[in-house]
Amino acid sequence: MWRALLAAGSIAALTAAAAQGIELRAGKIIIVADGGFSPTKLPQDRNAPIELHGFAKFRTVDGTRPSPLTQLVIEFDKHGAVETRGLPVCTQAKLVATTTARARKNCEGAIVGKGFGSAVVELPEQGPIKASSPLTLFNGPRKHGNPTVLGHAHLDIPAPTTYVVPIEIERIHKGRYGYRTIADFPKIANYYGSPTYGRLTIGRKWTYKGKQLSYVNARCADGRLQARGSVTFKDGSFAKGNFLRPCQIRK
């Protein structure tokens, strides 16, 4: 569930959804996402620092609990980059069995994003229970030479549980797209938990060897930044869509 929430926020924040938002349909599940980046005026021929922000909501046409997410795949615009030189690295060992406050204290220097997620848990013979948690993204160890993030959330309902989610930011060469993330979601509360909302703000600046660096960077090569994603649910429902956000070339 919380892995799903982290990725749900990423749909909006990392892909930079269309100006008026995007609505996708997967069976009876409706996904609404919106987000963007700042500043929107960027150089045409070189990357510049940006901050990403966005949200995603999940609901059904009949008001029942959405089917749990099982996989999310997102491919990102090649006109951008993630920078990690000189940025502290957090490990899973520092986050296991921690509350949000403890996790952020253990790896304060590695935080690259913060947000909030909510969900509904519906156990047998019980009514729906609302649950929520702050979300935190930490710069993680490199994998296959690629940067990673560790998503963290702590849930007290139905029992105190900490979730740590490693996500690899993989380099690809597929035309417009230069990066990909694949998230396979774990079975939470025996699939009785489903995300309903997630939001994230992603961005971090620091100084390394006398130079100011930014975790997320992009350029406005042709007036837009875009991505495409697909999402799969436990009941077999599937949806995919393209995400577009305009930018202006900074002279």
Q: How far apart are the first and last CA of the chain?
A: 44
Burial class of residue 71 in the structure, from the number of CB atoms within 10 Å of its CB (0-12 exposed, 13-18 middle, 19+ buried): middle
Domain ranges of the chain: 2-249
Mean pLDDT of 209-232: 93
Q: 148-171: per-residue pLDDT in tens? A: 999 999 988 778 889 898 999 999
* pLDDT tens, position by position, 7-61: 444 444 443 333 346 888 999 999 998 888 899 999 999 999 999 988 889 999 9
Give, in degrees to the nearest 5, the angle at Cα 68 between 115 and 237. 120
